[in-house]
Structure 1
Amino acid sequence: MDAVRAVAEPRRREILRLVWDTELSAGDIAERFDVTFGAVSQHLKVLRDSGLVTLRQDGRKRFYRADREAMGPLAEYLQSMWAAKLDALAELAEAAERAEAEQSENT
């Protein structure tokens, strides 16, 4: 599977976001999802086979990290997409705070 098709799945994009700046074990990644460990493991395999994450094995544990260099221009796109989502979330939070403050003033 190519990299673009691999990141088309929302859970795989979320896994990439989790391992973007840090290395996490498969168990740590799986804990953050409401699906089975096996399902997360399959997503990790797709990401690994697509060259989007690297795998480091330490004993019985497997650690994953995004391979931004191998992603090429896709890395910039993903990072800008996440930044845009964070900006939108910040705007929503600020709007909620303003609405709450206005409501407090009116009561």
Structure 2
Amino acid sequence: MAALAAQSVALAGSVPTYAAAAGGGDTAPVGSNLLLHVINGGGSSVTVTLVTPGTSGGLAIADAAVAVAAGASAFVPLRSVYRNSVTGRAAITYSGVTSVTAAVLRLP
């Protein structure tokens, strides 16, 4: 499991650094101006899942799952609902990691 760090996006533009998606999943900071950008360079669709650790009325809140088609990318807001109370970070898993990269972007 890798701990992804947030990278600030400058108003003039930025070229973020992407990390290979970890087979055991990744963690990321959460916040209203943070996005997870996942690029699927593989030949089949990959599902990116963000664990939602909370409950509502005693019932578990469903995890967020985003399908990223082969050769496509997706942006996922890293909202506070994904914050783990112990680590303070979001837990992210991938259904496959071959040719999948990710970066956490902090918007200005």
TM-score w.r.t. structure 2 length?
A: 0.28
Q: Quick check: which one's helix share is greater?
A: 1
TM-score w.r.t. structure 1 length?
A: 0.28
Q: Which has the larger radius of gyration?
A: 1
Higher RCO (CA-CA < 8 Å; seq separation 6+): 2
Q: Quick check: which one's strand share is greater?
A: 2
